[in-house]
Amino acid sequence: MQFPQWVVDRVVARQGCLHPYATLAPSRTAFVIIDLQNYYTQPGYLGECAQAPSTFGVVNRLAGALRAAGGHVIWVQTSADGADQFWSHHHAHMLTPERSARRLRELGSDSEGFKIAAGLQVEAGDDFVTKRCYSALVPGSSRLDEVLKARGVSHVLIGGTVTNVCCESTARDAMMMDYATIMVDDALSAVTPAEHEQSLQNWMLFFGDVLNSEEVIARLQLDAVAFAAG
């Protein structure tokens, strides 16, 4: 992603460089893939982001590269089970009654909408985490922090949909919990290009790094080379 010069200037002034992570140690890196479920990616569902399927190839390629290097892949899925109770404000005031009922039905754990979308390459060694609200790391939402700590993860790569809601919410919390956090530009999607770009600009200004998948893979390979040389 090409950032406006004013974003570049402010980031460099704050941290001394545009991209702070020259290499990524695979064993301490996790690719956290958020909400690439039927509900958020397929036609006919309330939560569809039409751009999401175009990222599937990138997600598969980056996940494969990280697995091969010894890193961790974590699939995060939203469930609406009981959301009208534990997230009552959202369902009662931020959704119409019709939309609330539809979300509860289409995103229940037993529904087709909950499932990971076809075309995504899931492997037996991957982790799966179910979350209850936008951020997977807000207290009570999921066990993602527990999984990351158990794997010895220090660096988190964020992909999935949508960029400016669940992905950004989880990424912000990860950063503030002291994980080095990178939003992977071409592994993310939003309803409109403007939302995607504005989210990543704000993220870059204050929270963490933005790289594309090839830049991430290059950093994984550079770390492997450095490890072999050392």
Q: Is residue 188 part of a domain?
A: yes
- The whole-number pLDDT of residue 57 equals 98
Count other Cβ atoms within 10 Å, centred on residue 196.
Answer: 22
- The whole-number pLDDT of residue 227 equals 58
Q: Is residue 84 part of a domain?
A: no
Structure tokens at 26: 């695979």
Cα separation, 150 vs 127, in Å, equals 11
Structure tokens at 13: 């002034």
Give the chain as a 3 state SS string: CCCCHHHHHHHHHHHCCCCCCCCCCHHHEEEEEECCEHHHHCCCCCCCCCCHHHHHHHHHHHHHHHHHHCCEEEEEEECCCCHHHHCHHHHHHCCCHHHHHHHHHHCCCCCHHHCECCCCCCCCCCEEEEECCCCCCCCCCCCHHHHHHHCCCCEEEEEEECHHHHHHHHHHHHHHCCCEEEEEEEEEECCCHHHHHHHHHHHHHHCCEEECHHHHHHHHHHHHHHHHHC
Residue 150's contacts (CB-CB under 8 Å, 6 or more residues apart) are none
Q: What is the pTM of this model?
A: 0.96
List the pLDDT tens digit at each of the 230 positions of the chain.
Answer: 899 999 999 999 999 999 999 999 999 999 999 999 999 999 999 999 999 999 999 999 999 999 999 999 999 999 999 999 999 999 999 999 999 999 999 999 999 999 999 999 999 999 999 999 999 999 999 999 999 999 999 999 999 999 999 999 999 999 999 999 999 999 999 999 999 999 999 999 999 999 999 999 999 988 665 556 55
Give 15-52 as a 3 state SS string: HCCCCCCCCCCHHHEEEEEECCEHHHHCCCCCCCCCCH
Range of the domain at 38: 24-72+116-229
Total domains present in the chain: 1
Nearest to 130 by CA among 45, 37, 54: 37
Residue 48's contacts (CB-CB under 8 Å, 6 or more residues apart) are 39, 40, 41, 42
210: domain CATH number is 3.40.50.850
Q: Is residue 12 part of a domain?
A: no
- The whole-number pLDDT of residue 202 equals 98
- Residue 108 · residue 45 · CB < 8 Å: no
Q: Is residue 81 part of a domain?
A: no
